[in-house]
Structure 1
């Protein structure tokens, strides 16, 4: 095994002047700052008073899971000789919130739509998904089930 690390910096941007003096007196916004990369402005879940126009932690986790799955899918497709010409995903995360306010994901459903070359074996294309969770860094790191409901087109 080889150990490696990742780093990021978050900076709260929601101080309206009085900090957290009152619960409604500050914004739940921050920036993700990774050296040499674009800054990503974020907010809390709109259900908790966040800005609905900005990504929240739940959006970011769901998107990261889908992106990791996609990258492994493209890798396996290339290795298997399957030509993929387009890939998009509209994943859905299902969560719950306890009366105490504690929340968690119950499951994630990936819904990739994949365009493959005409004449491709769609059963083989679909079988790739079953191999991914054994290697995907993020799928192996979360404690909730992730399923995949892929659709295909040829071009």
Structure 2
């Protein structure tokens, strides 16, 4: 039987300049993301939609979540398969479209992990384990756009 998990969060709009949403350009697209026991993250809308480019937006957070989940499962799978990962970094890129009515959606994401493995590791296995991640990754299994990966694996 599947075990249920809950992920509570709190979103607090911080963009009221004094008149609320009385005028479309009279308020900021900013908010704070809070989760009990964790640091508050100040966020904003995508700059294309009037947001503050110095703050995380939902699109940033979604692509970061996809890449982070992939990384965590990859590390787990490597650990159980005997591949020793020494370093991992990624520069994921999400692709999206904006429709004439201002709606939009992601069309794909590509992960670009650069992974350093211990000398003597099975490089083919290290590469193949990326294919296994999407069987487990909560985030990848929850989104409706394709996620591909172009790993670079380096032996230390």
| TM-based fold match above 0.5 | yes
**Scaled by the length of structure 1, what TM-score is found?**
0.98
What's the offset of the Cα at 1:6?
A: 1.0
Secondary structure (helix, strand or coil) at the match of 1:130 reads helix
Q: Is 1:89 the equivalent of 2:87?
A: no
Structure 1, unaligned runs of 5 or more: none
Match of 2:51 in 1: 50
CA-atom RMSD in angstroms: 0.7
What's the offset of the Cα at 1:50?
A: 0.5
**Scaled by the length of structure 2, what TM-score is found?**
0.97
Q: Is 1:126 the equivalent of 2:110?
A: no
What's the offset of the Cα at 1:104?
A: 0.1
Pairs aligned (count): 155
Deviating above 3 A after TM superposition, structure 1's stretches of 4 or more consecutive aligned residues are none
What's the offset of the Cα at 1:4?
A: 1.8
Matches within 5 A, 1:1-150: 1-150=2-151
Structure 2, unaligned runs of 5 or more: none
What's the offset of the Cα at 1:3?
A: 1.5
CA distance in 2 between partners of 1:89 and 1:126 (Å):
15
